[in-house]
Amino acid sequence: MSPQEMPLLPGQNGPASVPGFGSGSGSARPRLPQNIGHRGYNAAFPENSMAAFHGAIAAGAQALETDLHLSHDGVVVLSHDATLKRCFGVDKKIADCDWSYLRTLQTVKEPRQGMARLTDLLEWLAGRRRESESAPAAPALSVWVLLDIKTDDDPEVLMPAVARAIESVPLPDEGRGVGWRERIVVGCWNENYIHHARRHLPGHQLAFIGFSLLYARKFLSDKHPDVHFNLFQACLVGPLGASFRRAARKRGRKLFVWTVNEEGWMEWAVRKNLDGVITDEVGKLAGVLDRFLAAKAKRGGGGGARAAAEGIRWPRMIRLYVAAIFWQALTLLVSALLWHRLSTMGGRGKPKRG
């Protein structure tokens, strides 16, 4: 089954009828991971811009990952950073600026682009927006979106704003059971934000975003049956990573990994039967997946994972595994040091802003 043929979000009565989000993770049958554009096509365009999203789909992405922040006047904008310095060259915080100002900015990186809102992305996906005649038309309904809800904003303010933005852009196929709940996965960095997401975005599937397997295991419990995982790729390598992967599959949870730009790790994700790979290098990952499909077809539909692994140079993979072990040790230390913050971000007592 190719990524284009995989069902989107499993509904209450079985998988939805449109392609996209990925098949049930409990299946032991090999399948391709989805190609998820990190901030769009980050390697080729300014991140989180409409050009980056257009480019990602054109290069073969089945999904788009993007980051959310809130402007001073309550507009949900697409930006990884809480400040404008790195991407726009302005030493200001997004939270201190109204949209009327933010819309005038241009990225430092070429080709220069304006800041996008969540509604801009959704309107394009819904076929209601086209920046110019040269801009690509909206993609098919197979494309879905993975949101990264940043923790700089109060979730009691940000989550309702996200809900309003989504509700403001109706989908043409919504009457046939294909709504944003089937196309948007809400990613959160801790339990408090996930509680707020459930409250304000009911029906959307959720993903825990993080680097700590210790904290991630909190969401394997029956208390969080709707939570999937969007994890730092290095933490899923080796025995600890394998144990977590088995536990997630047993519970029918999906596993996405970030940010994978090395072909060796892309091939690893195929062999480990992951659900999605978040990458800056959308075109490179598309090539890896195409080679897997070609190898699978050549072998009569079987042995694709083995064929995908045959081109690996083991000295290179050894270096990658050594680097992964280093990152695992570092993330374990960071988890221990930041455990209280991981657990309390977005809890009561955080100043509200509206």
Return the number of other C-beta atoms located less than 10 Å from residue 88's C-beta. 23
All structural domains of the chain with their residue ranges: 30-344
Q: How confident is the model at residue 304 (pLDDT cuts 50, 70, 90)?
A: low
Looking at residues 337-349, what average pLDDT do you find?
Answer: 70
Buried b (16+ CB within 10 A) or exposed e, 47-64: bbbbbbbbbbbebbbbbb
Structure tokens at 121: 């992305």
Q: 12-65: per-residue pLDDT in tens?
A: 333 333 344 554 433 333 479 999 999 999 999 999 999 999 999 999 999 999
Second CATH level (architecture) for the domain 30-344: Alpha-Beta Barrel (3.20)
From the list 308, 230, 219, 317, the residue with the least C-alpha distance to 274 is 230
13 dihedral zone (left: phi>0; alpha: psi -120 to 50; beta)? alpha
- The per-residue pLDDT for 140 is 55
Looking at residues 237-263, what average pLDDT do you find?
Answer: 95
What's the rounded Cα separation, in Å, for the pair 271 and 290?
14
- The per-residue pLDDT for 18 is 35
4: pLDDT strictly greater than 60 = no
- What are the DSSP calls for 184-234, one per residue? EEEEESSHHHHHHHHHHSTT--EEEEES-HHHHGGGGSTT-TTEEEEEEGG
- The per-residue pLDDT for 253 is 97
Average pLDDT, the chain: 84
What's the rounded Cα separation, in Å, for the pair 206 and 229?
8
Number of residues in the chain: 354
Q: How confident is the model at residue 196 (pLDDT cuts 50, 70, 90)?
A: very high
Dihedrals phi, psi of 37, to nearest 5 degrees: -75, 115
Q: 55-92: per-residue pLDDT in tens?
A: 999 999 999 999 999 999 999 999 999 999 999 999 99
Structure tokens at 278: 């978040």
Structure tokens at 187: 């990613």
What's the rounded Cα separation, in Å, for the pair 236 and 234?
5
Looking at residues 191-208, what average pLDDT do you find?
Answer: 96
Fill in the amino acid letter for 188: C
Residue 348 CA, distance from chain mean position: 27
Residue 55 near residue 45 (C-beta atoms within 8 A): yes
Q: 155-187: per-residue pLDDT in tens?
A: 999 999 999 999 999 987 665 667 899 999 999
Structure tokens at 273: 């039967």
Percentage of the chain lying above the pLDDT 90 cut: 63
What's the rounded Cα separation, in Å, for the pair 72 and 93?
9
Residue 156 near residue 352 (C-beta atoms within 8 A): yes
pTM over 0.75, yes/no = yes
